[in-house]
Structure formats: C-alpha cells, structure tokens
Amino acid sequence: MFRYTKHALEKMDALGIERSEVERTIKTGMKWKEEQIEKWHARSAGIEAVFIPQENDVMIITVYLAGGKQ
C-alpha cells in the first residue's frame, strides 16, 4: 500500500503529477538508497520519488521532476 505525506501530495498537485505515475515510478523505475539512512529514490519518465519502505507500506516523502529543482 502506498501512503503519502502531506508534503508529497502538495508537490504532486503543484507539478501536476498523478498518484499512478508516482507508484509506477517506484515499482518500475531505477532505484537507489541514500547512505546510512533508510530513504530510497526511484526515477522514471522524468519523475523522481523519495520514499521509505515500511513493513507493509511504502511511505512517499516527496516527489519532483527528475533533474529539476527539489
């Protein structure tokens, strides 16, 4: 199950990014983990999502256009 922070939802609204695009990015995009913390990144089709995998959920922290301003 995907869960979204308020910040992520606000960014998605401002950028016109749909939940389905974010979820597809996380499922199929290139992924990497930040060193020494549990934050992961996924990038696909011009979208980058920052998320934390949890036991049964994925918490999406923020979303932005890949290569763009965070």
User: What are the Cα distances from residue 20, in Å, to 2, 23, 27, 28, 61?
Assistant: 10, 5, 10, 12, 16
The arrangement of strands across the sheet holding 30-33 comes to 2-4, 58-65, 47-53, 40-44, 30-33
Would you say the pTM of this structure is higher than 0.75? yes
pLDDT in tens, 9-53: 999 999 999 999 999 999 999 999 999 899 999 999 999 999 999
- Tell me the CATH class for 2-65: alpha beta
